[in-house]
């Protein structure tokens, strides 16, 4: 093999390795985005549950005070 052929082969091998590394970076970045999105949705669900529980407590307190469940909606 001549020097030019060896150099060409090395360049091709390096390009292949660079593509693999780039692909793994993209996969890891995508996984990071999915995890971040999951955490955001989990936090929003927790906030929603807390708001629902607080609203339910206020409703129960209103019913206890007024003895009228329809006036507290």
The total of structural domains in the chain comes to 1
Find the domain containing 60 and state its range: 3-72
7 versus 53: which is more confidently predicted? 53
Q: How far is CA 45 from the centre of its chain?
A: 13
Mean pLDDT of 39-56: 96
**Assessment of whether the complete model's pTM goes beyond 0.85:** no
Distance CA 16, CA 62 (A): 69
Whether 34 has a pLDDT exceeding 90, the answer reads yes
44 versus 10: which is more confidently predicted? 44
Residues 6+ apart with CB under 8 A from 1: 9
């Amino acid at each position: 093999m001549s020097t030019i052929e060896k150099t060409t082969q090395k360049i091709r091998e390096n390009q292949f390795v660079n593509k693999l590394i780039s692909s793994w970076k993209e996969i890891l970045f995508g996984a990071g985005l999915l995890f971040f999105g999951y955490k955001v949705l989990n936090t929003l669900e927790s906030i929603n549950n807390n708001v629902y529980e607080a609203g339910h407590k206020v409703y129960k307190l209103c019913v206890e005070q007024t003895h009228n469940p329809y006036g507290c909606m």
